[in-house]
Amino acid sequence: MTKDNKKAKQQPQFKKSNEKKKGKLIWVFLVGIIIAFVGYIVMKKKSQHNIIQEQKITNVKYGEKVVNNYKILERYNRQPNQYTQCFMFYNSTHILETSGLYEISSAHFLKFDRDQNSISEPIGAFNFSQQFNNRIFAEGCTLYNNQIYVLTYKEDHMLVFDHELKIVNKKVNYPSFIKEGWGLTHYNNSLIVTDGSNKIYFFDENLVLKNSLQIKGCSNSNFCTYFNELEIYKGYLLANQYYSNIIYVINMITGQVEKEYDMQFLAKEVVQATKDPQYFNKGFVFNGIAFDELTDTLLVTGKFWPFIYQIQLLDFPNK
């Protein structure tokens, strides 16, 4: 074998060896990319899980800042992704909230941890859009007789859930004079409902009418309507007015407004935080009142607000 022939025979072996090494390097590189991508997906899902299920955002202390006729005690940050309709204490450690709008309506819980001064992001959510094919706009809610009642906006019925928001036990049709569902709470043995008019209605749990009252005495007498979120507070009905920053204190026997609390300071703070002067005009307004009688805790918030506030109402009427 000549040197030239030997060289010619060895060259393919050398080339094959290089190709093997090159193939191994490419394989290692591809495996590395796959591992990195899988790791990224896992970390992203874990991060999302933490945001949705576990994240606790600490509060901001105001040192009992007095604004007009109420005090701001705490401010809790939250993700501004809930179009808040109903906002109430489920118990002393959890808040029940419904979020409206077609295609994204839901009901869920928020954990309220007093020891850690924190409120969690939503847990245990019931997605109305998925369950009812985007045909439900969730509205007011209440916990009554160990069941959760949720009004719908223009769907002409109320949904009744088990106490964990897992099962729809029944659907109750509205009476013919209720065209829209707005606010809902309960007091003694009655469900209290508003429909956007200047009236409040007292029903039994099957929406059989017991009584109705006309709300009167608003400072703006031409706008004594649109009562959207309801809460029982020390024997009175608290109601916020859609596209207003006012909390109205309503006598449930006479329908008379006995006091008003203006939350404009909170709304302005939200606008400043979002850096959007049109935030309020987009419909992201004050809406949400929750009171826990056991701990005397009053929380307020708004639609797509980044904050939940703990406040104390001053000079409240005596029964």
Please tell me the total number of residues recorded for the chain in this structure: 319
Phi, psi of 162 (to 5 degrees): -70, 170
What's the confidence (pLDDT) of residue 24?
56
Q: Which residues contact 250 (CB under 8 A, 6 or more apart)?
A: 200, 215, 236, 237, 238, 239, 256, 257, 258
Alpha-carbon gap, residue 316 to 319, rounded angstroms: 10
Going by the DSSP 8-state scheme, the letter that residue 147 receives in this structure is E
Q: Where are the alpha helices (DSSP H) in the chain?
A: 3-49, 128-131, 264-274
Q: Which residues contact 24 (CB under 8 A, 6 or more apart)?
A: none
Alpha-carbon gap, residue 120 to 77, rounded angstroms: 10
What's the confidence (pLDDT) of residue 23?
56
- The encoded tokens of residue 148 equal 């959760």
| Residue 271: closest CA among 226, 312, 227, 304 | 304
pTM listed for this prediction: 0.80
What's the confidence (pLDDT) of residue 25?
55
Each of the 319 residues of the chain gets a pLDDT tens digit; together they read: 433 443 333 333 433 444 454 555 555 555 556 555 545 443 433 333 333 333 344 455 666 788 889 999 999 999 999 999 999 999 999 999 999 999 999 999 999 988 887 899 899 999 998 888 889 999 999 999 999 999 999 999 999 999 999 999 999 999 999 999 999 999 999 999 999 999 999 999 999 999 999 999 998 767 789 999 999 999 999 999 999 999 999 999 999 999 999 999 999 999 999 998 888 888 899 999 999 999 999 999 999 999 999 999 999 998 7
Alpha-carbon gap, residue 197 to 181, rounded angstroms: 11
Please check whether the domain covering 59-313 is classified as CATH 2.120.10.30: yes
What's the confidence (pLDDT) of residue 115?
81
What's the confidence (pLDDT) of residue 15?
38
Alpha-carbon gap, residue 160 to 226, rounded angstroms: 24
What's the confidence (pLDDT) of residue 32?
59
Handedness of CA 307, 135, 161, 149 (dihedral sign): positive
